[in-house]
Amino acid sequence: MKLKVKDLDIATGGSKVVLLNQEDADKLDLHHMDRIRLIKGKRTCTAVLDIAESRKAMPKGKIGLFEEVLDSLKAKQDQTVTIKLAKKPKSIQYIRKKLDGKKLSKKEIQQIIHDIVKDELTSIELTTYIIANYTNGMSSREILDLTKVMTQTGTIMKFEQKPIADLHSIGGVPGNRITMIIVPILVAAGLKIPKTSTRAITSPSGTADTMELLTNVTHQPNKLKEILKKAGGFIVWGGAVDLAPADDKIIKVESPLSIDAEGQMLASIMSKKASVGAKYLLLEIPLGPKVKTRAQANKIAKHFRTLAKNLKIKIKIIITDGSQPIGNGIGPALEARDCLWLLQNHPKTPKDLKEKSLRMSGQMLEYMRKTTKGYETAKKILETGKALETMHKIIKAQGGTIKTPEQIIIGNHTFDVTAKKTGKIKQISNSAISKIARVAGAPKDTGAGIYLFKHVGDRIKKGETIYTIHAENKIELEYGIETAKSLNWGIKIGN
């Protein structure tokens, strides 16, 4: 059946959905949630059906397309598309198998990932697959197969420069912008680091969000090859490069559910490292937000080592303290300013961020046999200005212009959270600080967030400022204050 396109000008946030008039649906014997295939020239798209009960909502002879379907078909208002009933994808039977607690073969995993990448699964079916992995777990073989399949379905970068090194933190710690310090230190020491990073999903800022305040982070693969050749490294948004595209779709479903299946996390990280041809990997596992105990951290580290061995990647794993935020700034602009201060050896440098970055940089330099005194070498590179010089080279190569910390625009609507008594900071909640910063507008409002004046263990007097909430407008500042109050300010003070 041929129908004319009606642009609904609505996005679902990922799922492909179309809208039909009830009479047209009855004529084709279609029902709510049926799959239909849309054809426009050489382009095809599978979508889920919604049905309008009145002609006012959807006229007869037209089909309403949500933004995701319009983009997929490159369709415009009043153009003609053909629709047909679509069969259920093969992968549904394999998802059901996983839901029953059975192991999947590589072929079955391939089919599931293929259908995820091609948007053949509904949001319910994709969610079911994720929950099945989360509930029943994955075997070592399944994790390895999933890693390889996700790598093969995305862009695989091949760089002339050898060897390629990379780094990653499994995350969860606000303000942990070590990437923007470690990369220029290691590149200044002669390593080649094509770093692809994520944007924030549930955090106040991702590395890509923070780096974007200094330079362009969206580049195509051919351009990245030029940048690596020119600067020796880069820090870009991985979503633009299309590395392991199935993983990006899975993460979007995991985030609102606040789940992170261990096997999926392992495959996610290692598939992206394999995609950039990494031969050496520095991996951080912070104890606190995602990984609660050292025993759990050791178990995850063992899995990473097994995967790395199979993928022929040499891996250095560091288990760190992730019990509180790192640095002072939480939010894109505040974190970017911290990083610039640190690279400039400014008095306002966050000491914890500097120490952690130097320690991790030093261990990677020793692991790659660049020196036997890694920490000292990294410190010299930083304090002589070589790391800043290298960062400037990376910023320019990615199309940016050099900024000073003072040029970074911070939200000017502020509220100081002060101590209610004299004592010692006993706890700063990662989850509370993240939520307050997000409600205040971060990361969408780049100048929003939190600036910490105190950390765990610091002495504080009654009335002294613990942290300042920054927002770009009064309304979001009020939301941030209300949220902070409801979370008891995210701070515990003891004697």
Burial of 404 (0-12, 13-18, 19+ CB in 10 A): exposed
Token pair belonging to 453 = 């004046």
Reading the block at residue 252, the tokens are 């979007």
User: Measured between alpha carbons, how far is 268 from 72 in angstroms, rounded to an integer?
Assistant: 25
Helix (H, G, I), strand (E, B) or coil at 418: strand
Q: Which amino acid is at 339?
A: C
Closest CA to 37 of 96, 105, 84: 84
Q: CA 144 → CA 108, 148, 150, 312, 360, distances in Å?
A: 13, 6, 10, 12, 27
CA 298 to chain centre: 23
Burial class (CB in 10 A: 0-12, 13-18, 19+), 293: exposed
- Torsion angle defined by CA atoms of residues 454, 459, 460 and 461, in that order, rounded to the nearest 10 degrees: -160
Helix (H) or strand (E) holding 294: helix 294-310
- Catalytic residue among 100, 119, 260, 458, which? 260
Do residues 16 and 45 touch, judged by C-beta distance below 8 A?
A: yes
Instruction: Judge residue 456's burial from the number of C-beta atoms within 10 Å of its C-beta, 0-12 exposed, 13-18 middle, 19 or more buried.
Output: middle
233-237 and 193-197: which strand pairing? parallel
Catalytic site includes residue 260: yes
| Residue 455 identity | H
Catalytic residues: 260
